[in-house]
């Protein structure tokens, strides 16, 4: 028995499913999850001493790889001064300034602790601002685990085959309208029938695997929201600071009314944000009447790590390297899998592999992919020293620490896995 086996057995007696976030349990691919001892740049090392090229990178949070020195040092220095104050700090203002400077549509921003909290708060604000109830989301897009946004979610919910979840009331679900991603006509039909407060969308979904927006789809959402008085929310918890300093919205040239951020902006610490138009954000308490609060919002250690990360982005922009590395990895995978039906979707450095006969453009086509085949591929790559997302419904993530040696190792593992 490995140490991971032993730890998992111990964990299952204490923690539901043995993990603190469902996809980590390997239910989507089978087998025993690897318990991690440490991360080193592009690598993970498990408690049994196995070293893996890591294509999860804390689900996209580690843009510069694990334990980047400048980020770790900034967090340590901040912790030495105190870990939480429940009062404002200068560093919070500096992080807000950097976010506003980087993200095109954000005029004001509020810091929170998680992507779930950011999306939940943005939706509440949109409802308060518009005095309407209905939220439009897309099947397969995951915006955290708040009640109203779990309807037909992707990611962990997709992995477990759960269409929603017990514990969410019919009343809560009634105000969430779900449309297929990339189906603008379905969204128009919802707008024709219901009084919509907001549309929330991942501009590049990465929670049903990576799915690319069809030409004109995001612009169509922008026009629908503008003409109806609804707000457009871009969930950039994954794409923010990963597809570019200004996120997906900078890349596609479309300005949402509100944006949610997380992962990269916290440098691996629990730190997230939502922001947007000043007139909308000013409805938040204490300026306005829409309440939102958090004891650990703007936590000084997380803020310090976030500031160090955004400073690195400015000093050492990683995006050209990331995109080139992603293209090379996808080319290597494509060559290794040439004899098998497969699809690789990529936008910038975000990509994922589907064992599918046809294109994957929405949740339904993602579900039709051969996820059993993905499970076998996952374990073959794991045995060869490459750690992939343990679900066919997740994006794959690179860091600036992935170089020639890691790219070659991924290609070799894919080629020799049989």
Query: What angle, 0 to 180 degrees and rounded to 10, lies between the N-to-C axes of helices 371-383 and 404-416?
Result: 120
Token output for 75: 């967090």
Q: Which of 54, 108, 137, 235 is catalytic?
A: 235
Are residues 309 and 66 in contact, defined by beta-carbon separation less than 8 angstroms? no
Q: Which of 142, 374, 387, 393 is catalytic?
A: 142
Coil, strand or helix: which one is 229?
A: coil
Where residue 79 falls (left for φ over 0; alpha for ψ -120 to 50; beta otherwise) is alpha
> Torsions phi, psi of 107, nearest 5?
-100, -35
Q: Which of 43, 263, 362, 363 is catalytic?
A: 263
Residue 204 makes CB contacts below 8 A (sequence gap 6+) with 210, 211, 212, 213, 238, 239, 243, 248, 347, 350
- Annotated active-site residue 142? The verdict is yes
Coil, strand or helix: which one is 5?
A: helix
- Annotated active-site residue 5? The verdict is no
Residue 387 makes CB contacts below 8 A (sequence gap 6+) with 34, 44, 52, 53, 54, 55, 56, 381
d(CA 342, CA 340): 6
Greatest alpha-carbon pair distance for the chain in Å reads: 61
- Annotated active-site residue 235? The verdict is yes
Query: Nearest Cα to 142, choosing from 60, 212, 238?
Result: 238
Q: Is the four-CA dihedral 103, 353, 271, 402 of positive or negative sign?
A: negative
Catalytic residues: 142, 235, 263
């Amino acid at each position: 028995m490995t140490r991971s086996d032993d730890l998992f057995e111990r964990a299952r007696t204490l923690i539901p499913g043995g993990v603190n976030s469902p996809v980590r349990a390997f239910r989507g691919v089978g087998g025993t999850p690897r318990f991690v001892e440490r991360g080193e740049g592009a690598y993970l090392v498990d408690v049994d001493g196995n070293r893996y090229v890591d294509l999860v990178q804390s689900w996209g949070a580690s843009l510069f790889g694990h334990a980047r020195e400048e980020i770790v040092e900034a967090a340590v220095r901040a912790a030495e001064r105190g870990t939480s104050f429940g009062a404002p700090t200068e560093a919070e203002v500096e992080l807000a300034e950097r976010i506003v400077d980087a993200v095109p549509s954000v005029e004001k921003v509020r810091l929170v602790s998680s992507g779930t909290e950011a999306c939940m708060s943005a939706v509440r604000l949109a409802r308060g601002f518009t005095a309407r109830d209905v939220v439009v989301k897309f099947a397969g897009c995951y915006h955290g685990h708040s009640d109203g946004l779990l309807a037909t979610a992707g990611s962990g919910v997709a992995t477990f085959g759960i269409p929603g979840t017990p514990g969410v009331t019919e009343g809560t679900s009634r105000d969430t309208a779900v449309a297929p991603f990339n189906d603008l006509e379905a969204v128009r039909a919802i707008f024709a029938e219901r009084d919509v407060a907001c549309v929330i969308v991942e501009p590049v979904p990465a929670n049903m695997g990576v799915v690319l927006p069809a030409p004109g789809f995001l612009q169509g959402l922008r026009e629908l929201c503008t003409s109806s008085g609804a707000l457009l929310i871009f969930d950039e918890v994954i794409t923010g600071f990963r597809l570019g300093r200004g996120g997906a919205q900078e890349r596609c040239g479309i300005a949402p009314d509100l944006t949610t951020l997380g992962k990269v902006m916290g440098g691996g610490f629990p730190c997230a944000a939502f922001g947007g138009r000043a007139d909308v954000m000013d409805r938040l308490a204490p300026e306005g009447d829409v309440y939102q609060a958090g004891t650990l919002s703007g936590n000084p250690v997380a803020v310090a790590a976030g500031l160090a990360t955004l400073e690195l982005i400015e000093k050492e922009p990683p995006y050209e390297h990331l995109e080139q590395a992603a293209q090379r990895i996808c080319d290597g995978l494509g060559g290794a899998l040439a004899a098998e039906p497969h699809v690789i979707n990529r936008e910038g450095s975000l990509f994922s592999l589907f064992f599918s006969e046809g294109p994957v453009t929405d949740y339904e086509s993602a579900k039709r992919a051969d996820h059993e085949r993905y499970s076998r591929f996952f374990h073959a790559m794991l045995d060869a020293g490459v750690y992939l997302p343990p679900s066919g419904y997740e994006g794959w993530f690179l860091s600036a620490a992935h170089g020639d040696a890691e790219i070659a190792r991924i290609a070799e593992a894919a080629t020799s896995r049989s």
